[in-house]
A and B are shown apart, each in its own frame.
Chain A
Amino acid sequence: MSIASVFALCAAAAVGLGLYGLLVSPQPLRKILAFNLLGSGVFVLFGVVARRGAAAGFASDPVPQALVITGIVVAFSATALAVALLLRLFQASGSATLAAHSSARAGRDPTGT
Protein backbone atom coordinates (compact mmCIF):
# COMPACT_ATOMS: atom_id res chain seq x y z
CA MET A 1 0.00 0.00 0.00
CA SER A 2 1.49 3.31 -0.98
CA ILE A 3 1.18 6.69 0.65
CA ALA A 4 -1.28 7.81 -1.99
CA SER A 5 -3.53 4.82 -1.32
CA VAL A 6 -3.56 5.51 2.42
CA PHE A 7 -4.74 9.04 1.84
CA ALA A 8 -7.18 7.91 -0.83
CA LEU A 9 -8.90 5.70 1.70
CA CYS A 10 -8.79 8.54 4.23
CA ALA A 11 -10.37 10.87 1.69
CA ALA A 12 -13.12 8.42 0.82
CA ALA A 13 -13.88 8.02 4.51
CA ALA A 14 -13.96 11.80 4.92
CA VAL A 15 -16.44 11.98 2.04
CA GLY A 16 -18.61 9.36 3.72
CA LEU A 17 -18.49 11.13 7.09
CA GLY A 18 -19.26 14.47 5.49
CA LEU A 19 -22.21 12.96 3.64
CA TYR A 20 -23.59 11.46 6.83
CA GLY A 21 -23.25 14.75 8.69
CA LEU A 22 -24.86 16.65 5.84
CA LEU A 23 -27.82 14.32 5.78
CA VAL A 24 -28.43 13.88 9.47
CA SER A 25 -27.40 16.97 11.44
CA PRO A 26 -30.37 19.17 12.14
CA GLN A 27 -28.42 22.40 12.65
CA PRO A 28 -27.58 24.19 9.39
CA LEU A 29 -24.17 25.17 10.76
CA ARG A 30 -23.35 21.49 11.27
CA LYS A 31 -24.49 20.84 7.72
CA ILE A 32 -22.13 23.54 6.48
CA LEU A 33 -19.36 22.00 8.55
CA ALA A 34 -20.12 18.59 7.07
CA PHE A 35 -20.09 20.09 3.59
CA ASN A 36 -16.60 21.43 4.28
CA LEU A 37 -15.54 17.98 5.41
CA LEU A 38 -17.01 16.48 2.24
CA GLY A 39 -15.23 19.09 0.16
CA SER A 40 -11.91 18.41 1.82
CA GLY A 41 -12.28 14.72 1.05
CA VAL A 42 -12.95 15.52 -2.60
CA PHE A 43 -9.89 17.74 -2.75
CA VAL A 44 -7.66 15.09 -1.22
CA LEU A 45 -8.92 12.68 -3.88
CA PHE A 46 -7.76 15.19 -6.48
CA GLY A 47 -4.48 15.33 -4.61
CA VAL A 48 -4.11 11.57 -4.75
CA VAL A 49 -4.75 11.71 -8.47
CA ALA A 50 -2.10 14.43 -8.74
CA ARG A 51 0.41 12.43 -6.74
CA ARG A 52 -0.09 9.40 -8.94
CA GLY A 53 0.56 11.60 -11.94
CA ALA A 54 4.11 12.50 -10.90
CA ALA A 55 6.27 12.74 -14.02
CA ALA A 56 8.69 14.93 -15.93
CA GLY A 57 10.59 15.96 -12.84
CA PHE A 58 7.49 17.08 -10.95
CA ALA A 59 6.68 15.27 -7.75
CA SER A 60 3.00 15.83 -8.44
CA ASP A 61 0.90 16.70 -11.47
CA PRO A 62 0.40 20.48 -11.35
CA VAL A 63 -2.97 20.57 -13.11
CA PRO A 64 -5.04 18.91 -10.38
CA GLN A 65 -3.20 21.00 -7.78
CA ALA A 66 -4.37 24.16 -9.53
CA LEU A 67 -7.90 22.78 -9.68
CA VAL A 68 -7.81 22.09 -5.95
CA ILE A 69 -6.63 25.62 -5.12
CA THR A 70 -9.49 27.01 -7.17
CA GLY A 71 -11.85 24.59 -5.44
CA ILE A 72 -10.66 25.57 -1.95
CA VAL A 73 -11.33 29.23 -2.66
CA VAL A 74 -14.76 28.49 -4.14
CA ALA A 75 -15.65 26.30 -1.16
CA PHE A 76 -14.62 29.06 1.21
CA SER A 77 -16.80 31.62 -0.53
CA ALA A 78 -19.67 29.14 -0.50
CA THR A 79 -19.22 28.71 3.24
CA ALA A 80 -19.12 32.47 3.69
CA LEU A 81 -22.38 32.94 1.78
CA ALA A 82 -24.06 30.09 3.65
CA VAL A 83 -22.94 31.39 7.05
CA ALA A 84 -24.10 34.90 6.19
CA LEU A 85 -27.51 33.52 5.14
CA LEU A 86 -27.72 31.47 8.32
CA LEU A 87 -26.84 34.35 10.62
CA ARG A 88 -29.30 36.62 8.86
CA LEU A 89 -31.99 33.94 9.16
CA PHE A 90 -31.27 33.72 12.88
CA GLN A 91 -31.50 37.50 13.14
CA ALA A 92 -34.76 37.62 11.21
CA SER A 93 -36.60 34.71 12.75
CA GLY A 94 -34.88 33.93 16.04
CA SER A 95 -34.28 30.33 15.09
CA ALA A 96 -31.73 28.69 12.84
CA THR A 97 -33.28 25.67 11.23
CA LEU A 98 -34.19 24.45 7.77
CA ALA A 99 -37.48 22.93 8.91
CA ALA A 100 -40.38 25.11 7.89
CA HIS A 101 -42.78 24.75 10.76
CA SER A 102 -40.73 26.75 13.18
CA SER A 103 -40.49 29.78 10.93
CA ALA A 104 -44.04 29.71 9.64
CA ARG A 105 -46.12 32.07 11.67
CA ALA A 106 -49.88 31.94 11.86
CA GLY A 107 -51.57 32.51 8.56
CA ARG A 108 -48.67 31.69 6.31
CA ASP A 109 -48.69 28.62 4.15
CA PRO A 110 -46.11 26.00 5.02
CA THR A 111 -43.84 26.10 2.05
CA GLY A 112 -41.41 23.33 2.71
CA THR A 113 -39.54 21.36 5.24
Chain B
Amino acid sequence: MTFALALHIALAGMMLGLAAWTIAARETFAAVVGFVVYGLFLALVWVRLDAVDVALAEAAIGGGLNGVLLLGAAARLRATETPADAERPRAGLRLLAALLSATVAAALAAAVLQLPEPAPTLAPAAAANAAATGLANPVTNVLMGFRAMDTMLEKVVLLLAVVGVWSLAPDHFWGGRPGARHEADPQGTLAFLARVLTPFGIVVGIYLAWTGASHPGGAFQGATILAAMWLLIMMAGLADAPPTNARRLRLMLIAGPGVFLLVGLGGLAFGEAFLAYPAAYAKPLILAIEAAMVLTLAITLALLVAGPPERGAAP
Protein backbone atom coordinates (compact mmCIF):
# COMPACT_ATOMS: atom_id res chain seq x y z
CA MET B 1 0.00 0.00 0.00
CA THR B 2 1.62 3.23 -1.08
CA PHE B 3 1.59 6.39 0.94
CA ALA B 4 -0.71 8.07 -1.58
CA LEU B 5 -3.20 5.25 -1.33
CA ALA B 6 -3.14 5.40 2.45
CA LEU B 7 -3.77 9.12 2.29
CA HIS B 8 -6.74 8.60 0.03
CA ILE B 9 -8.16 5.94 2.27
CA ALA B 10 -7.80 8.32 5.18
CA LEU B 11 -9.57 11.04 3.23
CA ALA B 12 -12.39 8.68 2.30
CA GLY B 13 -12.67 7.51 5.88
CA MET B 14 -12.88 11.06 7.18
CA MET B 15 -15.59 11.85 4.67
CA LEU B 16 -17.60 8.84 5.65
CA GLY B 17 -17.24 9.79 9.27
CA LEU B 18 -18.59 13.23 8.49
CA ALA B 19 -21.41 11.71 6.45
CA ALA B 20 -22.35 9.46 9.36
CA TRP B 21 -22.22 12.50 11.67
CA THR B 22 -24.58 14.34 9.33
CA ILE B 23 -27.11 11.54 9.62
CA ALA B 24 -26.66 10.72 13.28
CA ALA B 25 -26.13 14.09 14.94
CA ARG B 26 -28.81 14.97 17.47
CA GLU B 27 -29.11 18.61 16.57
CA THR B 28 -29.91 19.64 13.02
CA PHE B 29 -27.66 22.68 13.14
CA ALA B 30 -24.69 20.51 14.09
CA ALA B 31 -25.58 18.10 11.30
CA VAL B 32 -25.59 20.92 8.77
CA VAL B 33 -22.21 22.15 9.95
CA GLY B 34 -20.90 18.63 9.50
CA PHE B 35 -22.38 18.59 6.01
CA VAL B 36 -20.63 21.81 5.04
CA VAL B 37 -17.29 20.38 6.15
CA TYR B 38 -18.15 17.22 4.22
CA GLY B 39 -18.68 19.37 1.15
CA LEU B 40 -15.24 20.91 1.49
CA PHE B 41 -13.61 17.50 1.79
CA LEU B 42 -15.64 16.43 -1.19
CA ALA B 43 -14.00 19.19 -3.21
CA LEU B 44 -10.65 17.64 -2.30
CA VAL B 45 -11.92 14.27 -3.52
CA TRP B 46 -12.83 15.84 -6.84
CA VAL B 47 -9.32 17.24 -7.17
CA ARG B 48 -7.91 13.77 -6.54
CA LEU B 49 -10.24 12.44 -9.23
CA ASP B 50 -8.67 14.95 -11.64
CA ALA B 51 -11.90 16.85 -12.11
CA VAL B 52 -10.90 20.35 -11.08
CA ASP B 53 -13.90 22.08 -12.69
CA VAL B 54 -16.18 19.88 -10.65
CA ALA B 55 -14.13 20.53 -7.53
CA LEU B 56 -14.62 24.26 -7.99
CA ALA B 57 -18.34 23.78 -8.58
CA GLU B 58 -18.70 21.51 -5.57
CA ALA B 59 -16.81 23.86 -3.27
CA ALA B 60 -18.76 26.86 -4.45
CA ILE B 61 -22.27 25.52 -4.98
CA GLY B 62 -22.38 22.23 -3.14
CA GLY B 63 -20.48 23.31 -0.07
CA GLY B 64 -20.84 27.07 -0.14
CA LEU B 65 -24.27 28.18 -1.29
CA ASN B 66 -25.94 24.97 -0.23
CA GLY B 67 -24.36 25.36 3.17
CA VAL B 68 -25.65 28.91 3.54
CA LEU B 69 -29.12 27.79 2.58
CA LEU B 70 -29.21 24.87 4.97
CA LEU B 71 -27.60 26.75 7.86
CA GLY B 72 -30.15 29.51 7.56
CA ALA B 73 -32.98 27.00 7.49
CA ALA B 74 -31.60 25.07 10.46
CA ALA B 75 -31.37 28.25 12.48
CA ARG B 76 -34.95 29.22 11.69
CA LEU B 77 -36.31 25.76 12.41
CA ARG B 78 -34.67 25.29 15.80
CA ALA B 79 -38.03 25.32 17.52
CA THR B 80 -39.23 22.26 15.65
CA GLU B 81 -36.48 19.93 16.80
CA THR B 82 -38.07 18.40 19.89
CA PRO B 83 -41.59 17.81 18.57
CA ALA B 84 -40.17 16.11 15.51
CA ASP B 85 -38.06 13.74 17.55
CA ALA B 86 -41.23 12.17 18.87
CA GLU B 87 -41.98 10.92 15.39
CA ARG B 88 -38.91 8.81 15.03
CA PRO B 89 -39.86 5.43 13.54
CA ARG B 90 -39.70 2.35 15.74
CA ALA B 91 -36.41 0.56 16.13
CA GLY B 92 -37.63 -2.32 13.98
CA LEU B 93 -38.35 -0.05 11.02
CA ARG B 94 -35.04 1.72 11.50
CA LEU B 95 -33.17 -1.56 11.47
CA LEU B 96 -34.99 -2.68 8.34
CA ALA B 97 -34.22 0.63 6.64
CA ALA B 98 -30.57 0.33 7.61
CA LEU B 99 -30.33 -3.22 6.25
CA LEU B 100 -32.00 -2.29 2.98
CA SER B 101 -29.89 0.83 2.51
CA ALA B 102 -26.78 -1.22 3.16
CA THR B 103 -27.92 -3.77 0.57
CA VAL B 104 -28.45 -1.12 -2.06
CA ALA B 105 -25.09 0.44 -1.26
CA ALA B 106 -23.38 -2.93 -1.49
CA ALA B 107 -25.04 -3.66 -4.82
CA LEU B 108 -23.91 -0.27 -6.08
CA ALA B 109 -20.33 -0.88 -4.91
CA ALA B 110 -20.28 -4.31 -6.53
CA ALA B 111 -21.61 -2.88 -9.78
CA VAL B 112 -19.02 -0.11 -9.91
CA LEU B 113 -16.12 -2.37 -9.02
CA GLN B 114 -17.14 -4.78 -11.77
CA LEU B 115 -17.34 -2.18 -14.52
CA PRO B 116 -15.58 -3.34 -17.67
CA GLU B 117 -11.85 -2.79 -18.20
CA PRO B 118 -10.75 -0.97 -20.30
CA ALA B 119 -13.36 1.61 -19.44
CA PRO B 120 -15.37 2.96 -22.36
CA THR B 121 -14.87 6.65 -22.67
CA LEU B 122 -15.78 9.61 -24.82
CA ALA B 123 -12.51 11.44 -24.11
CA PRO B 124 -10.98 10.66 -27.54
CA ALA B 125 -14.13 11.87 -29.28
CA ALA B 126 -14.15 15.02 -27.16
CA ALA B 127 -10.50 15.65 -27.95
CA ALA B 128 -10.96 15.05 -31.66
CA ASN B 129 -13.86 17.48 -31.90
CA ALA B 130 -12.43 20.16 -29.65
CA ALA B 131 -11.43 22.31 -32.60
CA ALA B 132 -15.05 22.96 -33.45
CA THR B 133 -15.58 25.37 -30.58
CA GLY B 134 -12.07 26.74 -30.25
CA LEU B 135 -12.08 26.39 -26.48
CA ALA B 136 -9.31 24.63 -24.66
CA ASN B 137 -11.23 23.50 -21.59
CA PRO B 138 -12.77 20.15 -22.52
CA VAL B 139 -15.49 20.35 -19.88
CA THR B 140 -16.63 23.73 -21.19
CA ASN B 141 -16.61 22.19 -24.65
CA VAL B 142 -19.02 19.53 -23.51
CA LEU B 143 -21.22 21.96 -21.58
CA MET B 144 -21.46 24.62 -24.26
CA GLY B 145 -20.89 22.61 -27.40
CA PHE B 146 -21.66 18.94 -27.52
CA ARG B 147 -24.35 18.95 -24.85
CA ALA B 148 -25.47 22.55 -25.09
CA MET B 149 -29.12 21.51 -24.94
CA ASP B 150 -28.73 20.12 -21.44
CA THR B 151 -27.08 23.34 -20.29
CA MET B 152 -29.79 25.48 -21.83
CA LEU B 153 -32.54 23.36 -20.32
CA GLU B 154 -30.82 23.59 -16.99
CA LYS B 155 -31.01 27.39 -17.16
CA VAL B 156 -34.74 27.01 -17.61
CA VAL B 157 -34.83 24.65 -14.63
CA LEU B 158 -33.14 27.33 -12.52
CA LEU B 159 -35.65 29.94 -13.63
CA LEU B 160 -38.48 27.58 -12.79
CA ALA B 161 -37.01 27.07 -9.33
CA VAL B 162 -37.09 30.85 -8.85
CA VAL B 163 -40.71 30.97 -10.00
CA GLY B 164 -41.51 28.12 -7.63
CA VAL B 165 -39.80 29.81 -4.70
CA TRP B 166 -41.51 33.12 -5.45
CA SER B 167 -44.90 31.41 -5.69
CA LEU B 168 -44.59 30.57 -2.00
CA ALA B 169 -44.90 34.21 -1.01
CA PRO B 170 -48.06 35.33 0.76
CA ASP B 171 -50.39 37.04 -1.68
CA HIS B 172 -50.04 40.47 -0.12
CA PHE B 173 -46.25 40.37 -0.37
CA TRP B 174 -46.21 39.38 -4.04
CA GLY B 175 -43.64 41.43 -5.90
CA GLY B 176 -41.92 42.42 -2.70
CA ARG B 177 -38.42 41.94 -1.46
CA PRO B 178 -37.11 38.56 -0.32
CA GLY B 179 -35.87 37.95 3.18
CA ALA B 180 -35.80 40.27 6.14
CA ARG B 181 -34.08 43.61 6.06
CA HIS B 182 -30.65 42.96 7.45
CA GLU B 183 -29.03 45.58 9.57
CA ALA B 184 -25.46 45.06 10.61
CA ASP B 185 -23.36 47.28 12.80
CA PRO B 186 -21.65 49.62 10.30
CA GLN B 187 -18.48 49.45 12.38
CA GLY B 188 -18.70 45.72 12.93
CA THR B 189 -16.90 42.80 11.43
CA LEU B 190 -19.61 41.73 9.03
CA ALA B 191 -19.87 45.13 7.37
CA PHE B 192 -16.07 45.36 7.23
CA LEU B 193 -15.82 41.93 5.65
CA ALA B 194 -18.49 42.79 3.12
CA ARG B 195 -16.72 45.99 2.14
CA VAL B 196 -13.26 44.48 1.88
CA LEU B 197 -14.02 41.07 0.45
CA THR B 198 -16.58 42.01 -2.18
CA PRO B 199 -14.27 43.74 -4.70
CA PHE B 200 -11.87 40.83 -4.56
CA GLY B 201 -14.72 38.39 -4.84
CA ILE B 202 -16.10 40.11 -7.91
CA VAL B 203 -12.71 40.07 -9.60
CA VAL B 204 -12.18 36.41 -8.74
CA GLY B 205 -15.64 35.51 -9.91
CA ILE B 206 -15.34 37.23 -13.24
CA TYR B 207 -11.88 35.79 -13.71
CA LEU B 208 -13.11 32.27 -12.99
CA ALA B 209 -15.92 32.67 -15.48
CA TRP B 210 -13.63 34.15 -18.12
CA THR B 211 -10.85 31.67 -17.75
CA GLY B 212 -13.21 28.74 -17.99
CA ALA B 213 -12.72 28.83 -21.74
CA SER B 214 -9.24 27.43 -21.49
CA HIS B 215 -8.53 26.53 -17.88
CA PRO B 216 -10.58 24.92 -15.13
CA GLY B 217 -13.37 27.24 -14.22
CA GLY B 218 -16.43 28.36 -16.06
CA ALA B 219 -19.68 30.25 -15.90
CA PHE B 220 -21.20 28.26 -13.03
CA GLN B 221 -18.27 28.57 -10.71
CA GLY B 222 -17.67 32.25 -11.39
CA ALA B 223 -21.34 33.12 -11.09
CA THR B 224 -21.55 31.38 -7.74
CA ILE B 225 -18.83 33.60 -6.34
CA LEU B 226 -20.60 36.69 -7.66
CA ALA B 227 -23.83 35.48 -6.09
CA ALA B 228 -22.05 34.92 -2.80
CA MET B 229 -20.68 38.44 -2.86
CA TRP B 230 -24.10 39.87 -3.48
CA LEU B 231 -25.54 37.81 -0.66
CA LEU B 232 -22.77 39.05 1.61
CA ILE B 233 -23.61 42.64 0.80
CA MET B 234 -27.28 41.99 1.46
CA MET B 235 -26.59 40.20 4.73
CA ALA B 236 -24.35 43.02 5.93
CA GLY B 237 -27.11 45.47 5.22
CA LEU B 238 -25.01 47.45 2.75
CA ALA B 239 -27.67 47.01 0.10
CA ASP B 240 -31.24 45.85 0.23
CA ALA B 241 -32.68 42.92 -1.67
CA PRO B 242 -34.34 44.03 -4.89
CA PRO B 243 -38.12 43.97 -5.26
CA THR B 244 -39.07 40.89 -7.25
CA ASN B 245 -41.40 42.75 -9.56
CA ALA B 246 -38.64 44.99 -10.87
CA ARG B 247 -38.61 44.84 -14.65
CA ARG B 248 -34.84 45.02 -14.85
CA LEU B 249 -34.42 42.15 -12.45
CA ARG B 250 -36.76 39.98 -14.46
CA LEU B 251 -35.01 40.82 -17.72
CA MET B 252 -31.65 39.93 -16.22
CA LEU B 253 -33.08 36.63 -14.99
CA ILE B 254 -34.07 35.59 -18.51
CA ALA B 255 -30.95 36.98 -20.17
CA GLY B 256 -29.00 33.74 -19.86
CA PRO B 257 -31.53 31.27 -21.27
CA GLY B 258 -32.79 33.94 -23.62
CA VAL B 259 -29.44 34.56 -25.29
CA PHE B 260 -28.80 30.84 -25.39
CA LEU B 261 -32.13 30.30 -27.10
CA LEU B 262 -31.55 33.08 -29.60
CA VAL B 263 -28.13 31.76 -30.57
CA GLY B 264 -29.60 28.30 -30.86
CA LEU B 265 -32.42 29.52 -33.08
CA GLY B 266 -29.85 31.39 -35.13
CA GLY B 267 -28.15 28.10 -35.71
CA LEU B 268 -31.49 26.62 -36.70
CA ALA B 269 -32.30 29.38 -39.15
CA PHE B 270 -28.91 30.14 -40.67
CA GLY B 271 -26.62 27.33 -39.64
CA GLU B 272 -26.54 23.58 -39.60
CA ALA B 273 -28.81 22.87 -36.69
CA PHE B 274 -30.27 24.19 -33.48
CA LEU B 275 -27.43 25.08 -31.10
CA ALA B 276 -24.79 24.53 -33.81
CA TYR B 277 -22.17 27.28 -33.91
CA PRO B 278 -20.67 28.43 -37.22
CA ALA B 279 -16.99 27.49 -37.13
CA ALA B 280 -15.70 31.02 -37.52
CA TYR B 281 -17.81 32.57 -34.77
CA ALA B 282 -18.01 29.69 -32.34
CA LYS B 283 -15.77 31.14 -29.63
CA PRO B 284 -17.26 34.67 -29.60
CA LEU B 285 -20.77 33.30 -29.58
CA ILE B 286 -20.01 30.94 -26.73
CA LEU B 287 -18.37 33.72 -24.74
CA ALA B 288 -21.38 35.95 -25.33
CA ILE B 289 -23.70 33.22 -24.11
CA GLU B 290 -21.48 32.64 -21.11
CA ALA B 291 -21.47 36.35 -20.24
CA ALA B 292 -25.26 36.40 -20.23
CA MET B 293 -25.28 33.13 -18.31
CA VAL B 294 -22.98 34.50 -15.62
CA LEU B 295 -25.23 37.49 -15.09
CA THR B 296 -28.37 35.38 -14.89
CA LEU B 297 -26.81 32.64 -12.80
CA ALA B 298 -25.39 35.04 -10.25
CA ILE B 299 -28.77 36.67 -9.70
CA THR B 300 -30.65 33.38 -9.80
CA LEU B 301 -28.45 31.62 -7.29
CA ALA B 302 -28.57 34.56 -4.91
CA LEU B 303 -32.35 34.84 -5.20
CA LEU B 304 -32.75 31.12 -4.55
CA VAL B 305 -30.87 31.51 -1.30
CA ALA B 306 -32.76 34.68 -0.40
CA GLY B 307 -36.09 32.92 -0.67
CA PRO B 308 -39.62 34.10 -1.39
CA PRO B 309 -40.69 37.72 -0.90
CA GLU B 310 -41.37 38.41 2.77
CA ARG B 311 -41.91 42.14 2.76
CA GLY B 312 -43.45 44.72 0.51
CA ALA B 313 -41.65 46.31 -2.39
CA ALA B 314 -41.30 49.66 -0.71
CA PRO B 315 -37.80 50.21 0.71
Contact = CB atoms under 8 A, between A and B. Distances in A.
A–B direct contact (CB < 8 Å): yes
A70 B35 CA distance: 21
Contacts of B123: 53-56, 58, 60-63
A29 B161 contact: no
A57 B127 CA distance: 8
A51 B46 CA distance: 10
Given A3-B5, A73-B61, A66 B147 contact: yes
A27 to B, nearest CB: 4
A32 B28 CA distance: 11
A55 B152 CA distance: 28
Contacts of B12: 6-7, 9-10
Which of B87, B123, B142: most chain A Cβ within 10 A?
Answer: B123
B121 A54 contact: yes
Given A10-B15, A57-B127, A83-B69, A25 B51 contact: no
A21 B87 CA distance: 14
A71 to B, nearest CB: 9
B28 A27 contact: yes
Q: Which of A4, A5, A60, A97 has the most CB of B within 10 A?
A: A60
A70 B161 contact: no
B66 interface: yes
Interface in B33-88: 35, 38-39, 42, 45-46, 48-51, 53-54, 57-58, 61-62, 65-66, 69-70, 73-74, 76-77, 80-81, 83-88
B31 interface: yes
B314 interface: no
A19 B107 CA distance: 14
Interface stretch (B112-120, B195-203, B248-256, B275-283): B112-120
B168 A88 contact: yes
Contact of B61 (A12, A32, A76, A88): A76
Contact of B28 (A30, A68, A77, A80): A30
A106 interface: no
A58 B126 CA distance: 10
A73 B161 CA distance: 11
B2 to A, nearest CB: 10
Interface string A72-98: 111111111101111110100001110
B120 A53 contact: yes
13 contacts: A5-B113, A7-B45, A20-B23, A20-B97, A24-B89, A27-B28, A32-B70, A33-B31, A53-B122, A55-B124, A62-B138, A70-B151, A97-B84
Given A44-B45, A62-B138, 10 more contacts: A3-B5, A26-B88, A32-B70, A47-B54, A56-B124, A61-B122, A73-B61, A84-B168, A84-B308, A90-B80
